Amino acid sequence: MPTTSHDARLTYHDFVLLPDDGRRHEIIGGEHYVTPSPNLSHQELVLRLALALGHHVEDRPDRGRLFVAPLDVVFSFHDIVEPDLIFVARDQLDILTERNIQGSPALVVEILSRSTRKRDQGIKRRLYERCGVREYWVVDSETASVTISRRHPDGSFRTLSLLTASERDTLRTPLLPGWSLALARLFR
């Protein structure tokens, strides 16, 4: 007697039915993750980084568009996340829809918190690598540091550097030529 197999992984259809309850809901690999609303330190870092990046992008709209959470990024039917900051480059504006982003943004930024640290550094990094994100920043307020992973011409996605405020490092990206931010300013 044949058996039927049922895929129990959650999908985008399940995702849109999740409650709008002020918490961050994500589906990664068909598994549901819920995170409480962020704390003040997290939100201050998001705001500082968004302002620094936003002013640059606003003055150079031909480079792409910047978005701040909450905004869904739909990588696949089973992978829907809500990064803290998202930059979509000019050559990929076709992934923008009225409702969400459908595809891999050029830059994804996650601000670590106690409840997301392991997920952001592990499962989400692997998702971004697998799905073709060009650059991924992990911002850590506890160590006043930013870890940068970048896609290389050979397609590999390598952790390239760990920048710290204590070393007076400056954050830069080839995605936005001419933009920079001193980490001492970000983590003030």
The total number of structural domains in the chain stands at 1
Tokens of 107: 């830059």
pLDDT digits (tens, 9 = 90+) for 56-78: 999 999 999 999 999 999 999 99
Domain assignment present for 26: no
Domain assignment present for 120: yes
Residue 156's φ and ψ, nearest 5 degrees, are -70, 155
Range of the domain at 128: 39-69+81-186
Domain assignment present for 162: yes
Interacting residues of 116 by C-beta distance below 8 A, sequence separation 6+: 35, 110
Domain assignment present for 10: no
Tokens of 53: 């990046």
Domain assignment present for 174: yes
pLDDT above 70: residue 6? no
- % of the chain exceeding 70 in pLDDT: 97
CATH of the domain at 56: 3.90.1570.10
pTM of the predicted model, to two decimals? 0.92
Domain assignment present for 92: yes
Domain assignment present for 122: yes
- Please tell me the predicted confidence (pLDDT) of residue 118: 87
Could you give the CA distance from residue 127 to residue 28 in angstroms, rounded to a whole number?
A: 8
Could you give the CA distance from residue 41 to residue 125 in angstroms, rounded to a whole number?
A: 22
Domain assignment present for 143: yes
pLDDT digits (tens, 9 = 90+) for 75-134: 999 999 999 999 999 999 999 999 999 999 999 999 998 888 888 898 999 999 999 999
What is the enclosing helix (H) or strand (E) of 180? strand 180-182
